Amino acid sequence: MRAPTAQRTLRPRSAPAAAAPASGSPAARRAPLPRPTGRLLIVHANGKEYGRGAGGSKASNREFPFAAADYVAMRDSGVPYSGDPRKNKLIPLPRPTYTEFINRARAARMLDRLDFLYVPAEAPQPPPWRSFEPYERVVWCGVSFRRFARLEHHFFQPSFQARVFAVLCCALRQRTTLPSSTAALASLPTDLLHVILAASAGEGDSRRDGYDDMAAVESGCQHLFLPAPGSAGVREALFDGVFGL
């Protein structure tokens, strides 16, 4: 005998349940951040030489159309240099120090607003604060810059910066409203006052246990302390966030 067949029904078949989006899929990714409108500076500590005649054992570092002496002169000049390979022919591509940022700047259509600055790993202190004024964002790349956490006020916590700002406002008011003989803060030289305020910071005022996270990137703060290119996997999302991608 033939086995009984299932009774047909006119009810529509239920649609299969939608699969949850994978963690790396576009549906699960965060919304892009606003793209920078100003200039962006990448501070790196890559002391390798690139170009003809470059030192070191890696032969591929010498396979560039420019001379290593020209590249080193640009890198060691102490001033920012353009990250736009259309204008700057001394950029060694592909190398992670440059490629990871240049590719993102190209995608964000801001190649003409990308600069790099070399700070040696053994530098005793960071560049002068005024040198960062032209930049909307400054990205410090790599572990070697952690030692700057206690040296410059832009690495202090916002709460400490607010206290310092209040003291500086008081000093300015004393200079303009009180006689010099009674104005304690105003009688101090400006540089000395800055040193005293920086030295007053406690451990919690300037402590940096790790790199900045996505919350810091989203905050829009000018200075960011991020992993070096080619290192921690978390850097991909952080770098994308910096460029609004």
Residues 15-65 pLDDT 10s: 444 444 444 444 345 677 888 899 999 999 999 999 999 998 899 999 999
- Reduced to 3 states (helix: H, G, I; strand: E, B; else coil), residue 132 is helix
- Reduced to 3 states (helix: H, G, I; strand: E, B; else coil), residue 107 is helix
* Residue matched to tokens 């992993």: 227
What share of the chain has pLDDT > 70, as a percent?
Answer: 76
Question: How many beta carbons lie within 10 A of that of residue 47, not counting itself?
Answer: 13
Spatial CB neighbours of 36, under 8 Å, sequence gap ≥ 6: 108, 110, 113, 136, 137, 242, 243, 244
CB 41 within 8 A of CB 139: yes
Pair of tokens at residue 170: 């008081």
CB 111 within 8 A of CB 105: yes
pLDDT digits (tens, 9 = 90+) for 111-130: 999 999 999 988 878 888 78
Predicted confidence at residue 11, as pLDDT, reads 45
- E strands, the chain, are 39-44, 81-82, 114-118, 135-141, 223-226
Predicted confidence at residue 189, as pLDDT, reads 79
Question: How many beta carbons lie within 10 A of that of residue 168, not counting itself?
Answer: 15
Nearest partner of 29 among 214, 192, 219, judged by Cα: 214
CB 127 within 8 A of CB 78: yes
Predicted confidence at residue 93, as pLDDT, reads 94
Question: How many beta carbons lie within 10 A of that of residue 129, not counting itself?
Answer: 10
The CA distance from 87 to 92, in Å, is 13
Q: Report which DSSP code applies to 54.
A: -
pLDDT digits (tens, 9 = 90+) for 144-153: 676 665 444 4
Q: Would you call 123 exposed, middle or buried from its count of C-beta atoms within 10 A (0-12, 13-18, 19+)?
A: middle
Pair of tokens at residue 202: 């406690």
Average pLDDT in the chain: 80
Pair of tokens at residue 36: 């920078």
